[in-house]
Amino acid sequence: MACPRPITPWTEVRDATRPASPAPQVARSFAEAPSLDEDCLTLDVTAPDGADGRPVIVWLHGGGGTNGGVAGRDAHRLAVTGDVVVVTPQYRLGVFGCFGHPGLRDGGTFGLLDQQAALRWVRDEIGRFGGDPGNVTLAGESYGALMIAAHLVSPASEGLFHRAVLQSPFAVLGTTTPANVLIPGVPALPSRWTGAEDLDQLGAAVALDRGWVEPGSSPDSALDQLRRVPVAELLTVSDAFIRPAFGSATLPESPATALPAGRFHRVPLLVGAARDEARFFVGVFADLVGSPVTADRYPALLTEAFGDAAAEVARRYPPERYPTPGLAWARISTDRAWAWPTWELGRAVAAHAPTWFYEFADQDAPPLVPVPDFPLGAYHAAELAYQFDIAGAPALTGEQRAFAERMNRYWATFATRGDPTHPDLPPWPDHSAGHVQSLAPDRIGGVDYAADHQLDFWARMP
């Protein structure tokens, strides 16, 4: 593992009409695109025909830190509707993106370094595709949004982008996420950031446990041995290496500390989440695998998650108030794991930089992963089908296509001038007074996000 390297120049015509292989990853229920190809640092450019000097949106895909890529996501809708150039880079994931080990330089930041290399390419080359290198918006969803939080703090990212969009960032400022709250049955999760020294210790322990390194090896010898381990075998530990590391020149400080303190690149920010974020995780990882949240299981999930506060949470979210216990648990999970941390992030950055906040709220969003008998609502990543043409996704209705155009015009307007307000669209005040713009086909306008997600309650809960 090392810093990204420039490709060897070529002079002949090269076929660039198809997406390259994604970063090494195993197939998942939400991302069935396995790959063992380490030659993965590529990017796609989608540009409208016509004049030069267009705003540029560099889009970082999600996928939990272990999966994802650019294939099957056509950006022409966002590019044409917004009259912007869209760049979608690929970057190393999992063990290849966030591994650390004693003696390994830049451990825990390889994915971040890949993205910075892509941003430098945009700075140097995007003018050839009609883009303005002086007007770049860095946008991303889920894990991609988490990485943008790192770019906001990383010294090496300064000046490479001029605005940022964070869609459904997970626990950027949080220290822990309670058990079961991301996915029923998953233990409590630590901070999404880890110290470089802690990561080195974890990497060394995993390497010894797997037999990849001989006991007593020097750091240099251990790294040589690790580089001989087959890609497929390394991928078996990817889930343990998805947290970017701080404490190096690339990321000196944890974003969880730096962002509230105002120690970040002061660019305009667009931040938000989906109204029913956690329905995706409860539906896909509980109901779809035959382990639904039942009335009998509900109290145990509460106790494991909240301990002595379980009864108080149960009084706030009695399962009989919801159509099913699974939907009750999804509401708890949405409010605690997504709405409250995203709100706290929005408030933190709005104290230092112009910030606009949104909630994607289409209750009839087409399911990217269908879950029979479980209404997904405005679930995690649902808005992507409105920004991109996604291979295999159900078609949008006529009303949804019209809404997608309005939503993309907001995003493009923000990319153009650092403010999403558009004269032909409903007004969108900034977040300085707590405004949240609800986005749905039947209504665009302000919403009482704090009340809807019981944020005062969660502010005092574990």
Q: Using one digit for the tens of pLDDT, what is the confidence trace for 282-314?
A: 999 999 999 999 999 999 999 999 999 999 999
- Asked if residue 233 belongs to a domain, the reply is yes
- pTM score over 0.85: yes
384 — phi, psi (to 5°)?
-65, -30
The residues, ordered by sequence, that sit 6+ positions from 230 with a Cβ below 8 Å of its Cβ are: none
* Kind and range of the H or E run holding 57: strand 54-60
- Asked if residue 346 belongs to a domain, the reply is yes
Q: Is 277 a catalytic residue?
A: yes
Share of the chain above pLDDT 90, in %: 89
State residue 299's pLDDT score: 97
- Asked if residue 21 belongs to a domain, the reply is no
Give the residues of the chain that fall short of pLDDT 50. Answer: none
Nearest to 141 by CA among 32, 68, 198, 206: 68
From the list 61, 380, 431, 453, the catalytic residue is: 380
- Asked if residue 25 belongs to a domain, the reply is no
From the list 35, 154, 265, 277, the catalytic residue is: 277
- Asked if residue 99 belongs to a domain, the reply is yes
Question: 330 near 278, Cβ under 8 Å?
Answer: yes
State residue 3's pLDDT score: 84
> Over the stretch 371-407, which tens digit does the pLDDT of each residue have?
999 999 999 999 999 999 998 899 999 999 999 999 9
State residue 30's pLDDT score: 65
Sheet holding 43-46, edge to edge: 43-46, 85-89, 54-60, 131-141, 163-167, 269-274, 355-360, 437-440, 443-446
- Asked if residue 307 belongs to a domain, the reply is yes
- Asked if residue 29 belongs to a domain, the reply is no
| Number of structural domains in the chain | 1
Question: 24 near 106, Cβ under 8 Å?
Answer: no
From the list 35, 142, 154, 254, the catalytic residue is: 142
CATH number at 334 reads 3.40.50.1820
Question: 99 near 203, Cβ under 8 Å?
Answer: yes
State residue 118's pLDDT score: 98
Question: Residue 333's domain spans which residues?
Answer: 43-458
Copy the structure tokens of residue 214. 């001989």
- Asked if residue 280 belongs to a domain, the reply is yes
